[in-house]
Amino acid sequence: MNRAKHIRRKKRSKAKIFWRTFLALLLLAAAIGGTVLYFQPKLWQSLLAKVPFPGNSSSSSQKSSSGSGSKTAQTDLPDVSSSDWNLILVNRDHLQEETTPALTQVGDIQVDSRIAENTQQFLAAAQALAPEETLISGYRSRAEQEELYNENIAAEEANGLSHEEAEALVQKRVQLPGASEHQTGLAIDMSVPEGQQDDLAAKIAELAPQYGFVLRYPEGKSDVTGVDFENWHYRYVGVENAQYMQQHNLVLEEYLTMLKAAGK
């Protein structure tokens, strides 16, 4: 009996110690939290922003973009619509039927007339960095894209590849008919004739948004675009969109997903 009492008392005092320690820790945590809140209110704001509340839409955009500043991406989106003509999405999942945009000649290529002036100015800016910069490719009809695609396949087959092997290889550098942005007249290939060096390409890509263009297939985004890094292919999206995409390190697929999520 005595022994049982003793054990009970011992248990009770253990419980007391536990609760006292617990309360002390709780007070300590509150004190630390309060101090941090007082001196670092921004830390709390950023922590709270990461909590995936249903209305906290910024958490979904963070997943799709790795750019700095993407946390505030959805609150400062430009006043545009994802269905604007200059934001048309063309890729393997979004095939483009034959269209006949109004075209204007710029150098050796043709582009959608609405972007002719910007194309000319962008070329001039690139030529200020490297005088031999040239517009290599602009508008291509779907039929021309098909021809280009088939020619490339035939050339690889002539090199001894099977049709399947040739297709797998060619699809890395030539888009399937319907999947090429060149059909829109809003895409240009610009390079020096011997092939663009990456450092020069980076400088040109930096300038591009001022003229409404973005480097469409940047390094590190091929899992999103479905196309390997191309340092020569630019796409017109308009100055406002291009600058936003540059600032937040977004490719067109990611940018459109954000616009649509914001109901734009």
* Residues at the contact surface with Zn ion, assessed by CB under 5 A: 189, 233
Q: How far is the CB of 88 from Zn ion (least distance, A)?
A: 15
Q: How far is the CB of 173 from Zn ion (least distance, A)?
A: 10
CA distance 112 to 88: 13
Q: How would you class 67 by CB atoms within 10 Å of its CB: exposed for 0-12, middle for 13-18, buried for 19 or more?
A: middle
Comparison of 233 and 248: residue with beta carbon closer to Zn ion = 233
Q: How far is the CB of 183 from Zn ion (least distance, A)?
A: 11
Q: How far is the CB of 81 from Zn ion (least distance, A)?
A: 25
- Which residues have a Cβ under 8 Å from the Cβ of 166 and sit 6 or more positions away? 152, 153, 156, 157
- Beta strand extents in the chain (DSSP E only): 103-106, 109-112, 134-137, 187-191, 213-217, 230-236
Comparison of 144 and 189: residue with beta carbon closer to Zn ion = 189
Q: How many CB atoms neighbour CB 93 within 10 A?
A: 9
Comparison of 117 and 189: residue with beta carbon closer to Zn ion = 189
The CA-CA-CA angle for residues 65, 67, 72, to 5°, reads 85
Comparison of 140 and 248: residue with beta carbon closer to Zn ion = 140
Q: How far is the CB of 129 from Zn ion (least distance, A)?
A: 20
Comparison of 221 and 233: residue with beta carbon closer to Zn ion = 233
**By beta-carbon distance, which residue lies closest to Zn ion?**
233
In the block, residue with structure tokens 């934001």 = 87
CA distance 188 to 52: 40
